[in-house]
Amino acid sequence: MIVNFSIQNFGSIKDKQTLSFEADKSTHLEDAYIVNFGGQRILKLALIYGANASGKTTILKALNFLRDIVLEPERKKTNELDFNPFLFDPKTPKQNSIISIEFFHNDIKYFYEVEFFKKAIVTEELYFHNPNKANVFKRKTNLLNQFTEISFGSKISTDKVFEKTLEANTLWNNTVLGGYLKTNIDLRELQEVIDWFENYLRPLVYTRTELEGFVTSRIESKEISKADVITILKKADFNISDIVIEEKEENIPDGLIEFLKRQVKEHSDKVKELEEKGKVTAVNVEFEHTVNNSKYTLPLEFESQGTRRYYGFAGLLALLIKNSTAFPIDELEASLHPDLYLHFILSFLLNSKNSQIIATTHNREILDNKDIFRNDAIWFTDKQESCSTELYSLTDFDSSVVRNTTNILNAYKSGKLSGTPNLGDTFIDLSL
């Protein structure tokens, strides 16, 4: 589980900002929200509010970026890292960016930090606590020679062959963990962290993310139970009695192979395989509806956007309940009725064990009911005069602003908590 996540000089974030899942001392809704790990109380949910362009999504993008540079290392040392530093300042584009994360995996707490700029990883370090703090590795990059130097902690057993191979495979724009993925030698301490990034921390779910395909493919691979998805859909008042998934082969359209050859140069083997086969496998999904004891099927594309969105969310919920995993989700409420949005959050909180959701949202109804939220699970982003993002929690406000009797929704709407757009009047004169 994620304990803390910090970002500096990344996108709209200039100064160091930290999203923390460490619960405060409140026992409010403790059974639903809090998991105990190594003597720490860790929250399962973080909801981030804020005006458009205030930097909410940047928090999630930074988390996703960290996952990418661990699991998808660049193959060429000339490739630049896919991010921008804070650009509204003369100094920050020339300064390094820093991302760090603290998390639990298999009852061991880890701390991982990466310092980087567009062309290279500058420094990198990994520690674990079991129970005392111990260094796994430290990395420095010789920027002049574009060479990676790695030193392992005294408790890590390696040999010179492994160390030299890992250094050679870790390009200056790769993380050590990414370089390890290209190294055909096992080291348990690194593999454990790789497994956490791959299996616990899931890719960012955008509003444009094609969740239907994500869930369908995992139903086919048995990672998600179709029966679980149907149960969740029924609980959410969708009249769906079955999901029918069929595969069929279709001829490749004229011109597609040539288009792929031009666009996907690094995956030419897959394109060649398609060309030789001459066919592609199409997956058709239909929902079965039972009406007056009669069964009717509708293709997925005929269903409403809300139904299709929640089919995807039902799959996510099945993963969150059955496994230990974390999903960053942008605009959680998109295409969902407010009641369905609350139903999803409550279903997650009441049925999951060691999973987490980190989500941006504009839905304010949850703030009107203290029976379903904790103050330490509510976060805000605010755009400063410098155009940089400030991230803060509802618990950061003192009792002069937020008391036990304060209606949080009214306080948010009135601007006392910031995180809302600073709107002008609605008269717009375009005659000039």
Residues 167, 130 share a domain: yes
Q: Once rounded to an integer, what is the mean pLDDT over residues 208-233?
A: 95
User: What backbone phi and psi angles, to 5 degrees, belong to 142?
Assistant: -80, 100
269 shares its domain with 413: no
pLDDT range class, residue 370, cuts 50, 70, 90? confident
**Binning pLDDT at 50, 70 and 90, where does residue 263 land?**
low
- Tell me, yes or no, whether 430 lies in a domain: no
Number of domains in the chain: 2
Q: What is the pLDDT of residue 415?
A: 77
3-state helix, strand, coil in the chain (%, to 5): 35, 30, 40
Q: What is the mean pLDDT of residues 377-389?
A: 95
205 secondary structure, DSSP code: B
How large is the average pLDDT for residues 318-339?
Answer: 95
Give the residue from 286, 312, 338 where a domain finishes.
312
169-202 pLDDT tens trace: 999 999 999 999 999 989 999 999 999 999 999 9
Residues 6 or more apart whose CB falls under 8 angstroms from that of 79 comprise 173
pLDDT of residue 89: 97
Question: Residue 121 in contact with residue 175, Cβ under 8 Å?
Answer: yes
Which residue, 312, 347, 372, sits at the end of a domain?
312
What pLDDT, on a 0 to 100 scale, did the predictor assign at position 282? 82
Domain identity same for 189 and 226:
no
286, 300 contact by CB (below 8 A): yes
User: What are the tokens at 209?
Assistant: 């993310």
Residue 246 in this model has a pLDDT that exceeds 90: yes
8 A C-beta contact, residue 47 and residue 420: no
Judge if 15 and 79 occupy the same domain.
Answer: yes
Over residues 226-246, mean pLDDT: 95
Tokens of 128: 């674990």
- Whether residue 166 sits in one domain with residue 138: yes
If one counts every other C-beta atom within 10 angstroms of the C-beta of residue 402, the result is 17
Look up residue 254 and give its two tokens.
């004229």
Closest to 179 in 3D by CA, of 320, 75, 266, 96: 75
- Model confidence over 99-134: pLDDT tens digits? 999 999 999 999 999 999 999 999 999 999 988 899
Q: What is the DSSP string of 295-338?
A: EEEEEGGGS-HHHHHHHHHHHHHHHHHHS--EEEESSTTTT--H
Buried b (16+ CB within 10 A) or exposed e, 60-79: bbbbbbbbbbbbebbeeeee
Q: What is the pLDDT of residues 210-219, one digit of tens each?
A: 999 999 999 9
Supply 34's token pair: 């809090």
Q: Are residues 22 and 161 in the same domain?
A: yes
Looking at the structure, do residues 127 and 180 belong to the same domain, yes or no? yes
Q: How confident is the model at residue 280 (pLDDT cuts 50, 70, 90)?
A: confident
What are the backbone angles phi and psi of residue 22, rounded to the nearest 5°? -75, 120
For residues 171 and 258, state if they share a domain.
no
Q: Which residue has the higher pLDDT, 79 or 428?
A: 79
| pLDDT higher than threshold 70 for residue 267 | no
Average pLDDT across the chain, whole number = 91
Environment class of 114 (CB within 10 Å of its CB; exposed 0-12, middle 13-18, buried 19+): buried
Q: Containing domain of residue 226, as a range? A: 211-312
Indicate the residue among 312, 343, 360 that finishes a domain: 312
Are 17 and 68 part of one and the same domain?
yes
The pTM is what?
A: 0.91
94's CB contacts (< 8 A; 6+ apart) are none
User: Do 188 and 240 fall into the same domain?
Assistant: no
pLDDT, tens digit, 9 for 90 and up, residues 18-34? 999 999 999 999 999 99
- Lowest mean pLDDT segment, chosen from 58-72, 262-276, 355-369: 262-276
For 370, other C-beta atoms within 10 Å of its C-beta total 17
Which residues make Cβ contacts (< 8 Å) with residue 108, sequence separation at least 6?
128, 129, 130, 192
Shared domain for 136 and 270, answered yes or no, is: no
Task: Confirm whether 247 is domain-assigned.
Answer: yes
Mean pLDDT computed over 60-64? 98
